[in-house]
Structure 1
Amino acid sequence: MASFPAASLRTRLIAGLVALVTVGLLVANVATYSALQSFLLARVDEQLTAAVEPVALELQSSIGPRRGARPSGRALIPAGTYAVLVNDSGAVLAELPLRNDGPAPRLPGAIGAQEGESWHTVTAREGEERLRLLSTPVLLVGGADGALVLSVPLTDVEQTLRRLLAIEITVSLLVLALLTAAGLWVVRLGLRPLRRMEEAAGAIAAGDLGRRIEDADERTEVGRLGLALNAMLGHLEAAFSERTESERRLRRFIADASHELRTPLTSIRGYAELFRRGAADRPEDLANAMRRIEDEAKRMGVLVDDLLLLARLDQGRPLERRAVDLVRVAEDAVADAGATDPERRFLFEPQPPVLVEGDEARLRQVAANLVSNAMLHTPADTTVLVRVAQQGGTAVLEVADDGPGLQPEHAARIFERFYRGDGSRTRASGGTGLGLSIVAAIAEAHGGRATVTSSPGAGATFTVSLPAQTQQAEPQPRPQPPAPQPAGVASGRKDL
């Protein structure tokens, strides 16, 4: 089966419009032609009916002498009328053209035996001229039945109909031409938004995801389609941007993780090579090599544990859920930091219990990481302040310092994995670059979030916001701390 090339939407619209108008014009022309033809034939029939009596008088006068003076009705006889008198067998008794020598008709068979008036359209005896014929029964002399047949040419009717047909064809063609031109302009104007959508789709396919449909009017169907496409394109652009950024972070994460793991592995391989080359014969070198191998192995183990924790949090694995006193968690983190670095000044503001529902071990890791971050990346004389508060339905843990602070570009990326914003945040400081990433991931797993507020020279404040527990449940008891008291208490704060 032969296949035809698909036509464009514009072509189909114009073809459909022209086809519909053509059908409409054809129906209208046929109806007009038929109505006029019926009207003209009816008028001819009326003229023939009115001419019956005058024609009978004319035939009577032509056959025999008139009895008395009768007025002539010739004025009522149509031009070209031809009269024929026939008996019941159809034999012509008399015939004559009455006006302008009208043509003689070709009589139908058995016309004299018909009852009542009958109408016929016949042709002339000579030529193809069409005639309208009326047959009406009459009573002949002697009481015999006959028929009076009148005919009149349809020349004027046919000329009028031919003129009407020519006018209809001319007007129809002119209307179709004008309508096609107007339809092309209207369709082109109506399809202009679709062309813009086509151009935008081509640009988007070429990689321009920021392209949008312009001048989308919500009052039109095409405009609403454009607005819907713009919304869809916005979501697609955001999704592509998010995917691109995710891929970029993943590549950087893999590269950083490989680099971080390669460093301790290189150290272990180096000390193993040193041992193979004779360090075993030198006790001091052997002890140092074993100690460094153990240190690097521990560091690599911490890094792997951190990576596994982040992977589990990314997978959305459920955490242990129970009531946890965030004040107690923060207090223990400060106490542990004070024991690790007795020379540093820590401030903690005691508060009533603030309960959250979560994994106590992970929340302790959050507090420890925040305090450890402040210790690692600020000078030794920096004061670290830890606060816990409940603000409505939110529990807030803050760790603030009065250190050098962060540049805005570093603060915006501080929670990214393996990100080190400045020279102080290096491997030499003992961090893996994952501590704050773990803080953010744990906070998100608990339905909260981690933020930082900082400016150069004004210190930094790390805030973890978590949903507070609505029902105050008793937190898990903990062992009492040892008897010795930290350094002292000032202004309601524990100064460690």
Structure 2
Amino acid sequence: MRSLWFKLTAALVLVTMLGVGLAVLVPGVVTVRSFQNFVSRSRATEREVLVNALAIYYEEWGSWEGLHTLVMSRPGHMGQGMGPVMAPGMTGAWQFQVADRNGVVVAASRVEQIGMQLSPSQVRQGVPIEVDGQEVGYLLPGTAVTLLREPEETFLRRLRETVVPVGLAAGGVAILLGLILTWQLTDPLRKLQTAAQGIASGDLSQRVDIKSKDEIGELGRTFNHMAENLSRAEELRRNMTADIAHELRNPLAVMRGNLEAIQDGVYQPTEENIASIHQQAVLLSRLVDDLQELALADAGQLRIEREPVDLAAIIERVAVESAPRASREGISIVRDAPSEPLLVSADPQRIGQVLGNLLDNAIRHSPEGGSITVRAQRQQDTVQVDVVDQGPGLSPEELSLVFERFYRGDKARTRATGGAGLGLAIVKQLIEAHGGRVWAESTEGQGATFSFTLPT
């Protein structure tokens, strides 16, 4: 499998080569063509000047006699006006013929062409030489007239010799810098790949050190957050497994011990001993029911039968049901709800279960002689319920864990006094299944407030 770095590098090299090629080719072609056009225009100007000089020569001498001898013997001094055109060495670049009005060559850059009769079509290709409005001859540039002279060829050659190496050097530098850049860009991805492979193999301690503030840095931070959540979930799973085993073991051990004692005749099957076994069976049944509730919620199969209900009436009913237990602990329950109905769309049995769990939690953590306040109020499109106790409160760490399964804030509490640690987890699942929100607020040493909202 080809790596992302390889693909980026290949793409970079391809784009760089294409860019450098275009940067060298296009300006080079444009420059050469522009220069050639300039030379061609210069040649045309020179031809015009040469035609004028030849016309002056003919006007001065009255014929073409001696023209070829003058051209070959004294280049650059062919009479008035010809010097600036026929500079020394120009004949080497100019391939030309001068013909009289009858098409006979009278002067040429090649001696063997003197006296040659040109065809009418050849004559038509020449530039007429006129004196007093009469055509007295023709200038016929040869095919080499457009060829570049040595200085011009040298200029273009040096231009090519400069542009191509500079372009290649610039492309090489660009590719080198691109390789370094793509390596730096893909290095965080390699770290992420290594860490992801470690997590896939079971090492949940893998983290990545990516400090950039771009999208890759955000991906690294998200990955670390995911890894932390996975590690925490794995720890909770292990703790939950151990807690379930512990919660099942204790009642079963008590039941088994009591039954074996009755079998051995140590205990008599009295009403008190049977009640003790029954109590343990009730605890087991409650634990299994709670676990089933959570399992259904996790699977999204928790059954919610919504109907319009008066939340104030549910609060009143649950408070009355919880009052005897609170009274035995010397705790009072205060209800603070408006007199008008607080209608919500909810499952009355499930919401009653939520309030029952919250009150049960508040009773366990409230001191003797304390009070618990159940407050309800309408807010825009929701109804908020608060259960306020006067217990020891929760630390910030406990607030972040209080809705976790099998979590007990007071480690000294037993299963009998502190519950199995599933009540608040069930509250969270039930409220969220209703589309509501649940949270806890507390200042350590000043009690706690558990709140939830339900949409109207």
Structure 2-normalised TM-score?
A: 0.71
User: Which letter maps to 2:18?
Assistant: G
Residue ranges of structure 2 left out of the alignment (5+ in a row): 1-5, 69-77, 131-135, 196-206
Deviates more, 1:45-54 or 1:396-405: 45-54
29, 35, 39: which one aligns with 1:32: 35
Cα pair 1:388 1:397 within 8 Å, conserved: yes
| Deviation of the 1:420 alpha carbon | 0.9
* Matched residue, 2:239: 252
Matched residue, 1:47: 50
Aligned to 2:417: 429
> More displaced, 328-337 or 364-373?
328-337
Write the letter of the residue equivalent to 2:239: R
**Structure 1 residues 56 and 82, CA gap change in structure 2 (3 angstroms):** farther
What CA RMSD, in Å, does the superposition of the two structures yield over aligned residues?
A: 4.4
How far apart in 2 are the matches of 1:61 and 1:22?
48
SS of the equivalent of 1:409 reads helix
Structure 2 distance, partners of 1:349, 1:163, is 107
* SS of the residue 2:210 aligns to: coil
Report the AA paired with residue 411 of structure 2: G
* Residues 33 and 161, structure 1, Cα contact 8 Å, conserved in 2: no
Mapping of 1:380-391 within 5 angstroms? 380-391=368-379
Which residue, out of 17, 21, 24, partners 1:22?
Answer: 24
| Alpha-carbon contact 2:358-2:450 (below 8 Å) kept | yes
Letter in 1 for 2:20: V
**292, 304, 317: which one aligns with 2:288:** 304
Q: Secondary structure of the residue that 2:376 maps to in structure 1?
A: strand
Encode CA deviations 1:326-369: one digit per residue, 9 max, x unaligned: 23322232322332354323132364133322111111112221
Once the two structures are TM-superposed, the CA of residue 240 in structure 1 deviates from its matched residue by 4.7
Q: Pick the aligned partner of 1:325 from 290, 298, 310.
A: 310
Q: Which amino acid aligns with 1:294?
A: H
Which residue matches 1:489?
A: none
Give per-residue Cα distances to partners, 1:390-414, cap 9 Å, x unaligned.
3444333333332333333223311
Taking the aligned partners of 1:290 and 1:184, their CA distance within structure 2 comes to 91
Cα distance in 2 for partners of 1:60, 1:461 equals 125
Partner of 1:334: 319
The within-5 A match list for 1:127-206 is 161-181=149-169, 196-206=184-194
Q: Which amino acid aligns with 1:323?
A: P
Whole-Å Cα distance in 1 between the matches of residues 98 and 335 of structure 2? Answer: 133
What residue in structure 1 maps to residue 352 of structure 2?
364
Report the identity percentage: 25
Q: Which protein is richer in helix relative to its size?
A: 2
Q: Is the 8 A contact 2:318 2:355 kept in 1?
A: yes
Mapping 1:255-270, distance limit 5 Å: 255-270=242-257
How far apart, CA to CA, are the structure 2 residues paired with 1:21 and 1:453?
67
**For 1:73-92, what aligned pairs fall within 5 Å after superposition?**
74-75=79-80
Instruction: Determine helix, strand or coil for the equivalent of 2:453.
Output: strand
Shift of 1:164: 0.9
Give the secondary structure class of the aligned counterpart of 1:166.
helix
Following the alignment from structure 1 to structure 2, what is the Cα–Cα distance between the partners of residues 246 and 449?
21
C-alpha separation between the residues in 1 aligned to 2:426 and 2:67? 131
Change over 3 Å in CA distance of 1:51–1:308 after alignment to 2: same
Q: Contact conserved, 2:336 with 2:374, CA < 8 A, in 1?
A: no
Question: 2:3 matched to which residue of 1?
Answer: none
* Contact 2:391–2:446 (8 Å) recurs in 1: yes
Gaps of at least 5 residues in structure 1 are 63-72, 121-133, 138-146, 215-225, 470-496
**How has the CA–CA distance of structure 1 residues 337 and 34 changed in structure 2, closer, same or farther, with 3 Å as cutoff?**
closer
Matches within 5 A, 1:272-421: 273-274=260-261, 278-279=263-264, 281=265, 284=268, 291-316=275-300, 317-340=302-325, 342-343=327-328, 344-349=330-335, 351=337, 352=339, 353-421=341-409
For residue 104 of structure 1, what is the amino acid of its counterpart? V
Structure 1 CA distance for aligned equivalents of residues 365 and 140 of structure 2: 124
Cα shift readout 1:305-324 (whole Å, capped 9, x = no counterpart): 01111222333345111232
- Residue 12 of structure 1, CA deviation: 3.0
**C-alpha distance in structure 2 between counterparts of 1:370 and 1:155, whole Å:** 106
| 2:394 and 2:444 in contact (8 A); partners too | yes
Q: CA deviation at 1:196?
A: 4.4
Task: Name the CA shift for 1:263/1:425 in 2 (closer, same or farther; >3 Å).
Answer: same
Distance 1:417 1:116 in 2: 107
How far, CA to CA, are the matches of 2:293 and 2:190 in structure 1?
A: 45
Residues 458-495 of structure 1: CA deviation (Å, up to 9, x unaligned): 2233223323x4xxxxxxxxxxxxxxxxxxxxxxxxxx
